[in-house]
Amino acid sequence: MTVLRGTVIAGGTRIDDGAVEIEGERIVRVGPARDGDGPAEPGTLLLPGLVDVHCHGGAGHGFPDAGADGVRAAAAHHLAHGTTSLLGSLVSASGETLLERVRLLAPLVDAGELAGIHLEGPFLAAAQCGAQDPSAIVPGDPGLLARLLDAGAGHVRSMTLAPETPRYRDLLAVMQRHGVVPSLGHTDASAAATTAGIAQAGQRPLSATHLFNGMPPLHHRAPGPVAACLAAAGRGAMVLELVADGVHLADETVAMVFDLVGPDRIALVTDAMAAAGMSDGRYRLGALDVDVADGVARLAAQIGRPAERVGEHPPGGTGLAPGGGVERPLAGGTARLIDVVRRVVRHAGVPLPAAVTAATATPARLLGLHDVGALVAGHRADVLVTDAALTPRAVMRAGHWITRERQREVV
């Protein structure tokens, strides 16, 4: 028996002096601390292992282009910072390249190093390509999709697509047969067309890929996909991804969405690329070069529509670079998910239990991961131990310490 004691964040609540009891790979009890649970360490927080459903890499390696060792290094980097369930996200590429990448990633899912694969494209709107290679974006092709999902051997868990792509209904049917969660994004659709696309998805798990980014901004006479997705989440029909890293979205925007739809309809994500955990410099995102300066990743060359049309400019900006030029699109994030949670709590003013729910239970439920994302008896023993400032101190996955500093326990 292993007993961890501290402030427990579980089920959207806070237990100020709580304990998590673990036997083998499973949690057996969560509740108030009892006699014999060992001394409490002031400032210790016990969180569920984090769940990131949109991540392109880290530690200098990208899931869209790295070899198996690089993919493992990227996954290990995020794991060491508390993300115990991670989807490896790909970007739009040729069919052959995507087949190759899916086949490379699938064994890592079998090995437990990834929780699944996320396809971000290639059936997107070229007008809203963001940091996607526009030459790799193609009309909806159910045959290609079926080949990709077969190659993934059941490990492709989600896919981003635009509701206006041709043969959208047929793509949804293929995804339903394979148990893949549709995620609407990189779209130029109107609010009406997006609402119709949401309705066509039926009563299934459904999400929006990085809401506000990769889609037209909300305008009171042209509300676009942002309004349609917010409305869908408000009525319980959709989960909204938010890249709440202080770069992709203003903190006030994040606070607004939490107030409107609540943490049960929000999945905090990193959209991290190879530069996560690394210094500034040049990196790759799929086939494209990315420059990172002051921790902000942008394409090395401007492609697609101007930044102010794509919703990719920084909070408070205009989308125009100094001198009136067009800013290059953002090209993913450089934060880890615990960094996003910290930002949401400190700068957006979201209560810690709500922020944790949006980084754990909600994304786990979206993907049908039934034994992770919460500190409850019977779940896999995935625990992130932090200090009061949400700095990771120790990470446990399936009852085994991955990283560990000073953590008292009773064995």
How would residue 317 be classed by pLDDT, with cut points 50, 70 and 90? very low
How would residue 303 be classed by pLDDT, with cut points 50, 70 and 90? low
Tell me the CA distances in angstroms from 377 to 11, 14, 165, 360, one per residue in order.
12, 16, 43, 16
What whole-number distance in Å separates Cα of residue 136 and Cα of residue 132?
8
Are the C-beta atoms of residues 263 and 351 closer than 8 Å to each other? no
Each residue of 82-91: pLDDT tens digit?
999 999 999 9
Each residue of 9-40: pLDDT tens digit?
988 999 999 999 999 999 999 999 998 777 77
Percentage of the chain beyond pLDDT 90 is 88
Bigger pLDDT: 319 vs 107: 107
What whole-number distance in Å separates Cα of residue 146 and Cα of residue 176?
11
What whole-number distance in Å separates Cα of residue 32 and Cα of residue 118?
38
What whole-number distance in Å separates Cα of residue 357 and Cα of residue 191?
28
**Predicted pLDDT of residue 405:** 59
**pTM attached to this predicted model:** 0.93
How would residue 357 be classed by pLDDT, with cut points 50, 70 and 90? very high
In the chain, the domains with their CATH numbers are: 2-48+373-404 (2.30.40.10), 50-367 (3.20.20.140)
* Average pLDDT score, the chain: 92
